[in-house]
Amino acid sequence: MIKVKLTNPSEEAVQVPEVALEPPKPRIKFVEPEEKIQIKVNKPIPTRVILPIDIKKTLDGNILIKDHPLIDIMIIPTANKVITLAKDNKARDTYYAQKELFELLRSFGLIIPETIQGGSTYGSLEAIYPNSDKVDSLSAVLVGIYKLLQQHQQYSKIETEYEDSFEKWLTNPSEDDSTDYETAMSTHRVRKGSIDPKQKAFGLLFRI
């Protein structure tokens, strides 16, 4: 309470109640900067991946991959085409290897499925891969081919080891799987089987 003293001493002092003063409201003023702030976001640099593939470039600019044990793979960048060719030194049917390659590329979305067809060369298959604005189409196709080569190299290694072991078993058998020549000749009978090769057929006796 605030006490007010009057000039007349006979009057009592009047008490005036205190009033809380409100603080002044702040004034906010927005000032535009003279120069606008520019933020530049740099695109991340894609990671460089080196694929361990034996790639050769032909004179006309095509890419030739010879790592597959049964087929050769050729990529024509100017026509967006992937071609598979059977190796000359392979007598086995290579259609299933070619089919497996294009099925893998189709499952990854790297080729156009309806473009898979036979090529102009005997025993070849081909397909067309689309262009993309976000990724390098040629690099994506190479990664897909590398995935298949990894699988086939493992299968080819197992198959080669089996063929080598089988050939070794035939040409150089163990003692349990072989017979001594002298022992075999001493126990060999002159006549074997129930049919005598010197006996004439029954029907020929009546013809004579």
Residue boundaries of the structural domains of the chain: 55-171
Question: Is 70 exceeded by the pLDDT of residue 13?
Answer: no
* Contact predicate 152/109, CB 8 Å: no
Amino acid at 75: I
| CATH number given to 55-171 | 3.30.1360
Q: Say what the pLDDT of residue 207 is.
A: 57
The per-residue pLDDT for range 118-166, each reduced to its tens digit, is: 988 888 999 999 998 888 898 899 999 998 888 877 777 787 788 888 8
pTM over 0.75: no
Q: Say what the pLDDT of residue 12 is.
A: 54
Closest CA to 70 of 54, 53, 88, 55: 88
> Left, alpha or beta for 80 (phi > 0: left; psi -120 to 50: alpha)?
left
Percent of the chain scored above 90 by pLDDT?
23
Give, for 81, the enclosing helix (H) or strand (E). Answer: strand 81-86
Q: Say what the pLDDT of residue 121 is.
A: 85
**Exposed (0-12), middle (13-18) or buried (19+): which is 157, by Cβ within 10 Å?**
exposed
Closest CA to 127 of 110, 119, 115, 118: 115
The per-residue pLDDT for range 179-197, each reduced to its tens digit, is: 777 777 777 777 777 777 7
Q: Say what the pLDDT of residue 97 is.
A: 86
Q: Say what the pLDDT of residue 16 is.
A: 53
